[in-house]
Structures are given as C-alpha cells and as structure tokens.
Amino acid sequence: MKEIFNIHDISRNEFMLHGPLARHGYDWWWHSFTARDSETGAEKPFFIEFFICNPALAEDKPVFGQLPENKAEGKRPSYLMVKAGCWGEGRAQLHRFFSLKDVKICGRAPYKIEADDCLASETVLKGRISISSEESAAHPEWMCDSGSIEFDLTVDKKIAFNVGYGASKPLRNIEAFAMYWHAEGMKSAYSGTVIFNGRKYTVTPETSFGYADKNWGRDFTSPWVWLSSNCLKSRITGKMLENSVFDIGGGRPKIYFVPLDRRLLGVFYYEGKEYDFNFSHVRMKVKTEFSFDESGDKVVWNVRQENNYAVMETYVTCKKKDMLFVNYEAPDGSKKHNRLWNGGNGTGIIKLYDKVGGRLELVDEIEATRIGCEYGEYGANNENGDNT
C-alpha cells in the first residue's frame, strides 16, 4: 500500500484560533514521554501540554469559566494553561495560567508559544510550574494538584499521523468538525531533563518512547478515546520493533454540529508499512468496534478495526492507581468531562492481519508497553476526582 498517513506537515501544528474560533475555541499541543530517575534509574512517564482557550476574550488576568462570579456574568474562559505532570507513583497534573495578553504566539508555522519562562515549539519545550497545597485547595478553578515541575527538552518528531479530511488546509472548513486532530510526532524522540518535586529525571532519545500531537476546535468529543505507543515487541520474532508505532483516537465526531456514530481514527506504522483505519477514507470501507470497561483495579479498552486490506485488534489495560482524571474547561465555560481517564503506563496486545484471498493472515502479534491511553464520556460524574 502506498504511503497514506506518514506525511509531516507543520502547517497543521499552527495556532488555529482565528475567526469564530478566536471567541469560542481551544488549541492545544500535547507531549508525553518516558524519563529515568537520575539516581535510581527508575522509569517515570511524564506529559506536557500547552492549552489556549478563547484568545479574543482575553482580559488582564486569566479568566476561569468555573468561577461562580464568571458563570453569573456569562464570562467564558480565556487563558494559556501550561499543564505538566506524571503518571504512576506520585501521579499529578499541575497547571499554570497566563492571560493571553501576556503570551507571544507565532501565528504561522513553525508554531511557537511563549509566556514568561514557558515555551513550546516544534523542537523545544521549556517551563516551570509550582503549586502549593494551600493554593491548590484555595483555587479549585485551577483544576490541579499541588507540586512542582521544571522541564527543559528538545523534540525530534520521527513519524506522523496526518489525519487529513476537512483539515487539508489549517484554516479551510475550520468549522466543519467540532474537534480536529493532527499527530506530527506520533513517534517522537525527546532529550533533556525534568525536575519533579525536587527529583531529577533524565530523558534520552532511545528510551523516551515519545509522542506529540495537537487538537483544536470548538468542543470536545464524547466518548473520548486515545491509545498510542511506539514501545513494541514482536511475539513472533521476540525482537523490538524499532520503526513502528500505533495510534488510535476519536469517539463520536461532530460535523456541522451533527454527531456521527461511534467512530475512531486508527493507524499502525509497522516497520515501514502503513496500515490505515481512518473512517474518513470512504473507499477503504473502514469498520470499527470498541468498548471500555473500568471494573476492578484497572481499565480496559478493546478495539477492532477493519478495512479492505487488513484487520487490527487492540487490547489495552492500565491500572487505575497509575492514572488520573485529566481536567479541561470547554470554550463555553462548562467542564463536561469529569471522569476522563488518562494514563501513560498502559500495556496491551495488538494483532495485525493482512487480508489475503478472502482470509486473514497474521502479520504479527505485538506486545505494547508504555501506552498513552484515555477514555471519558459526558455525564460520567465524579466531582471529587477520586480514581481509586
């Protein structure tokens, strides 16, 4: 099959909040990777995100949609939120907010977002967040834990997932979908350092197993699904798959405010060969089935995707104790996802098949670790954020 999705295009990583989205839209750049404790060598997965909401509504200070007084006045949120944290032991999400009047934004590719000592670009991530327990308790509108983190990293984006369809040009048909997605670096190599709660962690390209993508739009999806890893081992050969990565995302997309059936975008870049299960490629006749369960001490994803040429079956689990509920405000000021499971320690099995002469032929059975994983639906209420 010819190259379908591994098409790098940094124009899709541009700042997208123009026109109507400037007053009712969000734009974020997500990064996740594995680091090692500089003293013990123990692994720890981290995430960093730069999230911008409603820039045309900027005031001198960040505007929080969750504050009662802002709700009463009908004010919608407006800020840059720098989000960073980790999964596993000591899991935490830390937020730092800036008025968008104090943020420098490069409006064209390559993107660059800069506020005080925080910076995100195609190749560099720098920043610092420090939240005391007293501040976290006094400001529930910050939607975060307490702790401190500093990061100084470089990013090398190796393999892309270019979704296409409706976003072929960043500003064309921007209103068609409620939520857009582009993974410029679904396989990325990170290097640098992270200091989390006083401990130093080292990030090296060979063991970072990194990921980088972005979302933008006017609303979030429900259900919300994301699964991805490039730490993959063949059960057939016993060898690591050094040039491979899979990525699955979506849930229930909306086009012109009309929700479609439950659908996912999925791809597997298998040692240079591309397997594409993107529902928007109509000619490929993609079919998807997926389920999620959170019983017991873990959460479980089951996904089966099929096109004219291949089948991918994905089974992923993640321990609840290693995960957190990731927090966002929507551009309208509501907090729609109160139980959005988010983890970086997922493990799973992927079975990849070719269709040959009317039958399925196993390409490989793959062990996946260090899986980034998410799931959430509107109406799943847990206001205390207790995911035990």
pLDDT one digit per residue (tens) for the chain, 388 residues:
454 899 999 999 999 999 999 999 999 999 999 999 999 999 999 999 999 999 999 999 999 999 999 999 999 999 999 999 999 999 999 999 999 999 999 989 999 999 999 999 999 999 999 999 999 999 999 999 999 999 999 999 999 999 875 443 444 444 555 789 999 999 999 999 999 999 999 999 999 999 999 999 998 888 889 999 999 999 999 999 999 999 999 865 444 443 445 578 899 999 999 999 987 777 788 899 999 999 899 999 999 999 999 999 999 999 999 999 999 999 999 998 999 999 999 999 999 999 999 899 999 999 999 999 999 988 654 433 333 2
Predicted pLDDT at 284: 80
Determine, yes or no, domain membership for 3.
no
The three-class DSSP label of residue 11 is: helix
How far is 369 from 316, CA to CA, in rounded Å? 9
Q: What is the pLDDT of residue 378?
A: 82
Asked whether residue 384 is domain-assigned, the answer is no
Residue 181 placed within a domain: yes
Instruction: Note down the domain range covering 225.
Output: 10-376
Measured torsion, CA atoms of residues 83, 180, 63, 212, in degrees rounded to the nearest 10: 20
pLDDT of residue 164: 78
Tell me if 222 is assigned to some domain.
Answer: yes
Cis peptide before 205 (omega within 30 of 0): no
Nearest Cα neighbor of 194 from 386, 22, 60, 47 is: 47
Q: What is the pLDDT of residue 258?
A: 39
Give tens-digit pLDDT for 366-379: 999 999 999 998 86
- The answer to whether position 4 is within a domain reads no
Domain presence at residue 140? yes
CA separation for the pair 208, 140 (Å, rounded): 33
Neighbours of 334 (CB within 10 A): 16
Give the global pTM. Answer: 0.93
Rounded Cα distance between 77 and 9, Å, is 30
Token readout for 368 is: 């996946």
Domain-embedded: residue 385: no
Tokens of 348: 């799973």
The number of distinct structural domains making up the chain is: 1
* Inside any domain, residue 198: yes
